[in-house]
Amino acid sequence: MANIHSQKKRILRSERERLENRLYTSTIKTHFRRLEGLVEGGEGEAATTAHRELVSTIDKAVKRGAMHKNTGARKKSRAARTLARSSAASE
């Protein structure tokens, strides 16, 4: 543990920020698994809603700095491909 007061504060702050970032990444993974499950189940309307939620969460994570913008773009692209797979299967 650090001896300097400001460094102790910085350690506590960085730990708190790390946990907030993990919350975003964990939520994004959960939304993505939910989207994949809905696509496999053939539920198109629910999948569209799940996709919208996922993209919103990704955008918030990128805005906060919890995720790099290219990573966010890649995840949104994969989600769009997954959603397109569901609409192609229903046709």
Q: Which domains does the chain have, with CATH numbers?
A: 16-90 (1.20.58.110)
On whether the CB atoms of residues 55 and 79 are closer than 8 A, the answer is: yes
Instruction: Compute how many other C-beta atoms are within 10 angstroms of the C-beta atom of residue 75.
Output: 22
Distance between CA atoms of 22 and 91, rounded to whole angstroms?
38
Question: What is the percentage of the chain residues whose pLDDT exceeds 70?
Answer: 95
Q: Check residue 44 and give its pLDDT.
A: 81
Give the pLDDT mean for 27-31: 96
HSE value, Cβ hemisphere, 13 Å, CA-based, for 18: 6
Residues 76 and 53 sit within 8 Å (Cβ to Cβ): no
